Structures are given as structure tokens and as C-alpha cells.
A and B are shown apart, each in its own frame.
Chain A
Amino acid sequence: MMRARVHGLALRYGAPFAVGIALLSAWQIIVTAYAVPSYLVPSPLAILVTLQRDWALLSRSLVFTLEITLAALLCAVVVGVATAFLFVQSKVIEASLFPYAVLLQVTPIVAIAPLIIIWVKDTTVALVFCATIVALFPIIANTTLGLRSVDPGLLDLFRMHRAGRWQTLARLRVPSALPYFFAGLRVSTGLALIGAVVAEFVAGTGGTASGLAYQILLSGLQLNIPRLFAALFLIAATGIVLSLLAALAARLALSRWHESELAHDD
């Protein structure tokens, strides 16, 4: 049992870590062996040195991007869950409004971000708005599906006991929807970061500085490629950490009862 658990942990965390080390080593060896100039492809060690040297600048940008991402994720959760609650109240409401939720999903954020940045005076608010639009749809779609995917027998039982709409929502629909909500949250976490970065790019071209996307833009213009890679590394690391946190939240909420989060020996 213990051995299987250790094996499972090694597989889950050790295997991707080993692959990462192998790829970075290969990268370092190739760049060194062929003397590739750092303005084309910097070596992992050069990126690490830059990360350490420019940490004061990059960490400020990281915090800014993280703030936009988390604020957008929070807004997406609140608005998305509220919209899903609204949709399950009636098929007419869902049929009337769902196409507009799809519209948000299919409209490229780069196409509407400049307009939002012009319309919304505060740039930070504009960035949060853009990232929220990108992150919103998976929460709405998954939570709506979850709220509707209720065991019909339990629904009959609630009807037999004359449960009110609120009781049915709180005691039956919401718990049934949790696995679906967390699946949506994991997708939206990544999308909120992507939305924040894309919106920063657009805002950056308008002259606003601060986030990691702006550092990438600026480093590219200055041919400071190691810093560009360092900023890129921070964005990727942020995405991975946020995704792990979303997975942890799902595990904490579902691990005792839902098959998606039960421990498996394989």
C-alpha cells in the first residue's frame, strides 16, 4: 500500500520533473556546443542569471500580472456561477441568454481589448475586464451542465418532500455541480492568465507599463532576449502553480466522494 503510494507520487511529480531536467540539460548542451548567441536563444543558465539579476523588476511585473489574473478569475467565478444559477431557473432564460455567453467565448479578445481599454478609464480595471471575458465561459458552461446533471431519483425525492427551489438548489443542485464547476475552474485558471497577458500586450502598445507581458514586449524591442525568456518562464511557472492550486481545491472539495478525485493505485 505504502509502496504503491510512493510509486504514485513519484509518477505524478517525479516523472514531469525528470523530463524538465532532461530538456533543460539538452537545451544547455546544444546552445553551448554550437555557441548560439544569447540574442537568438539564451541558455537556461543565462536565463537563470537574468532572473536573479532583474528579480526586482520582474517580481513587480509578476505581482501585477498575478493580481490581474486572480481578480479576473474571481470575477469569472462570481459572474459565471451567478449566470449558471440564472440559467437553471428556466429553459427560456437559458435559451435566450446562452448564445450571448457563446459570443463571449468566440470573440477574439485581441479584437475587442483595444475598445475596452479605450472605453474603461482605469487601465487595471480594463485589463481585469478583458481577462474575465476570456475566463468566463468554461465556468458558465460547466456549472450550468452540473446544476442540470442531477440524479432524477433524488430530484423526485425532493419533490415528494415538497422541497422549495432554494432547498433544491442548495442541497441538491450545488453539490451535484461541484465536480463540473471544478473542471471549469481548472480551464478558466489558465484562460484568466492568458487573458491577462493578452490584454497587457494590447494595453502595453498603448503605453501602459507594468505586467510580465509588457516586460516581454519591451525586452523584445531592446533585444534583451534573456529577460524576455525570464519573463516567459515566470508566466509559465505562474500558470503551472495556479493550475496546481485549482487541482488542490478540487481535491479538497471532492476527494471523499467523487470518483474523479479518489486515490487510484495505478
Chain B
Amino acid sequence: MSAIDIIAADKVYANGVRALDPITLSVREGEFATIVGPSGCGKSTLLRIVAGLLAPSSGRLLLCSGADAEATHDRRTAFVFQSPTLMTWADVEKNVRLPLDLGHAGDASHADERVSRALALVGLQDFRRAYPRELSGGMQMRASIARALVTEPSLLLMDEPFAALDEITRARLDRELSALWSREALTVLFVTHSVYEAVFLSTRVLVMSSRPGRIVGEVTIADACPRGDEFRVSAAFAGYCARVSALLVAAMEPQREGAA
């Protein structure tokens, strides 16, 4: 069953820049799909279209097995941005509670329980009274993920959420996210620049070409989830990375020739 159906959606900005060629893509319920591609290829644009933050210039977007995207966006979809985007004037609990306070994220009658559960899922239950400036970069990003999870979304969209973190923190958060996804049966559409992160996390890696972006290839990662550090040093991991890298290099060839 599809969680997302993108049907020939493209995007041309008002200044005439064509960000996306028509893209057709399905993401199944419970899938962890990751988009990789060169900088400026339209990965984030595609994610923002799925989130309802941008309208496609043409084409259609269906969420949750054909349900109207407009009707389901707010309730079913959560977004984690590149930066934590926390309210600096509010503590962690108030930040996580925000989607419930805005009153459009489904039943908010058990708000306290949901906030506590979301904080526990990301390991921040002891930091509910802390302000964002009192947290490390990794903890801020976990608070941002908790804010997304508090709405109990069926679809989680993540736009390079760990890109600004150091390697060790990033690897740890990747492990935690993989475990969370397995436990919560989420559907995740993830964007990253990192081939290694994409392969570690995903059940399917989608490779986009240079702008105007389009899907030029995909690699299915069949290994069992959740994955641990042993997967990172396995031959299978190296093989998947090589395949995704080769697709990525091929996707960037026209850009290279153009640059030459």
C-alpha cells in the first residue's frame, strides 16, 4: 500500500528556474526511502512538495493510498528540517508540545502522555525543562525529531537532519533513527548528501540527477533492520555504497561535462 504517490510532478519557480523535471514516485507504507543527489538537484524541493510547503507546477500528489493530500497533510505528515528550528524562548517540553498546541495535529486530549512518550523515544525525558541553548547540537536535533513524533505521524519527512553534526554524533543518531523506524512502523522519506548514511538507514535509495532533478536510479537495501555498526563494516554495505556512488557519479556526468 502506498504512503506517497507522486505522479508526474514538476516544479518551475517564478524566476523561470526549473527545479524538477516531471517525477513519478511511490513510497510504500513502512518504507524508509532516501533521496541522494548532487547539491541543488531539487531533493529538498521534492520533499517540500510532499510536505505541502510547495505546490508542484504540474502533476499530482497523493498521500495515504489515494487520500487527498490537502486533507491529510497536517495530521499525517511530520517534517524534520536541516536545522533543529526550535523555539529558543521555550523549553524542550513546550517545543515538543507545539504541534499539539496548534490544535491541528489530531487528538490532543492526551497531550502530556504523548509529549512524554515522544521525549522518551529520543532519550530526552530528563531534559524537558532545558532550553535549546542548553543542549548540544545532537540533542537539539533529537528534540526536533521528538516534536515530529509527538503527532504520531504516519509519514516522516527528514531534510538532511544530521548534516551539521560531527561524524560520531551523526552515526549515533543514525542508529537511533533506524531503531525508532523499526519500532514505530513509520514511513520515512529522508534526504541526505551522504551515500553511507543513505545506505545505512534505508530500505531503498533513490538517486536524483543534477538540476532539473529527476530520479535516475534506485538501489534496494535488503538487509534486516534495525541495523547496527556491524552493518557499516560489512561487505554488503560496501557493495551497496559502491552501487549508489556509481549511480550518483553517472547522475552528475552531464554537470561535469558542462563544467568542463
Contacts and interface: CB of A to CB of B under 8 A. Distances in A.
Interface stretch (A16-24, A60-68, A156-164): A156-164
A161 B53 contact: no
A161 B89 contact: no
A257 B101 contact: no
B133 A154 contact: no
B74 A256 contact: no
A156 B53 contact: yes
Contact of A175 (B77, B89, B105): B89
Contacts, number: 59
A153 interface: yes
A160 B48 CA distance: 10
A160 B131 contact: no
Given A160-B53, A161-B105, A257 B74 contact: no
A53 interface: no
A157 B87 CA distance: 11
B99 interface: yes
Interface string A143-160: 000000001011011111
A178 B79 contact: no
A171 B52 CA distance: 21
B73 A258 contact: no
Nearest to A159: B53
Contact of A157 (B73, B79, B132, B133): B79
A160 B85 contact: no
5 contacts: A153-B83, A156-B81, A157-B99, A171-B102, A257-B132
Contacts of A159: 53
B81 A161 contact: no
Contacts of A176: 89
Interface in A166-207: 167, 171-172, 175-176, 178
Interface in B40-74: 48, 51-53, 73-74
B104 interface: yes
Given A160-B51, A160-B74, A161-B74, A257 B99 contact: no
Contact of B104 (A154, A162, A262): A162
A182 to B, nearest CB: 13
A160 B73 contact: yes
B52 A160 contact: yes
Given A160-B52, A161-B98, A262-B133, 14 more contacts: A153-B81, A153-B82, A153-B83, A156-B85, A157-B85, A158-B102, A160-B77, A161-B74, A161-B99, A161-B102, A171-B98, A171-B102, A256-B131, A259-B133
A158 B101 CA distance: 11
B96 to A, nearest CB: 12
B45 to A, nearest CB: 13
B247 to A, nearest CB: 30
B35 to A, nearest CB: 18
A161, A162, A176, A257 — which one has the most chain B CB atoms within 10 A of its CB? A161
A156 B52 CA distance: 10
Contacts of B51: 156, 160
